[in-house]
């Protein structure tokens, strides 16, 4: 697994920003925030984001087109993600549930497909919004 030390300047700038936020950030809001650091174009942001996703430092919340830091610093689960999303306040939390992970990891369909990754998003209302 790649270490943070090997990240490039742009990747570090963008990872720092995402890690400081406890909630997902969108690409163009990231772009706006890093313009003062000399990152000027969408592609510079997307390139860094893609790399960070690939090495498991961040995850993409597919239903929201937004990116959140992975807090799971020990095992770098980049390929098995579970999130809970409040449909009212849009609060997003990454879930690490051992039993659930096992069921998902062990899942086999009847088509002979070979899985290497999954993404699960739960939607509902958080405690504040119920």
> Residue 5 interacts with a second copy (CB under 8 A)?
no
Cβ proximity to DNA, 25 vs 86, nearer residue: 25
Cα angle: 61, vertex 12, 28; to 5 degrees = 45
Cβ proximity to DNA, 22 vs 62, nearer residue: 62
Q: Please state the closest distance from residue 59 (CB atom) to Zn ion, in A.
A: 5
- The entry of a second copy, Zn ion, DNA, none near residue 36 (CB within 5 to 8 angstroms by kind) is none
> Residue 111 interacts with a second copy (CB under 8 A)?
yes
Half-sphere exposure (CA, 13 Å, Cβ side) for 7? 23
Cβ proximity to a second copy, 21 vs 93, nearer residue: 93
Cβ(57)–Cβ(96) below 8 Å: no
Rounded to whole angstroms, the Cα distance separating 101 from 27 reads 29
Rounded to whole angstroms, the Cα distance separating 63 from 54 reads 18
Closest among 59, 130, 46 to 93, alpha carbons compared: 59
Cβ proximity to DNA, 38 vs 124, nearer residue: 38
Helix (H, G, I), strand (E, B) or coil at 81: strand
Residue with tokens 């990754």: 117
Among 50, 62, 71, 89, binds a second copy (CB under 8 A): 62
Binding site for Zn ion (CB under 5 A): 70, 72, 86, 88-89, 91, 126, 129
Applying CB under 8 A, the residues found at the interface with a second copy are 62-63, 84, 86, 93, 95, 97, 99-100, 103-104, 107, 109, 111-127, 130
């Amino acid at each position: 697994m790649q270490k943070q030390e090997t990240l490039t300047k742009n990747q570090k700038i963008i990872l720092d920003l995402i890690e400081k936020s406890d909630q997902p950030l969108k690409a163009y809001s990231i772009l706006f925030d890093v313009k003062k650091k000399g990152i000027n174009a969408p592609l510079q942001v997307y390139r860094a984001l893609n790399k960070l996703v690939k090495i498991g430092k961040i995850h993409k919340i597919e239903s929201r087109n937004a990116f959140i830091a992975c807090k799971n610093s020990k095992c770098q689960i980049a390929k098995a993600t579970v999130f809970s999303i409040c449909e009212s306040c849009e609060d997003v939390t990454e879930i690490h549930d051992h039993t659930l992970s096992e069921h998902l990891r062990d899942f086999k369909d009847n088509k002979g497909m070979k899985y290497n990754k999954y993404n699960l998003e739960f939607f509902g209302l958080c405690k504040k919004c119920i």
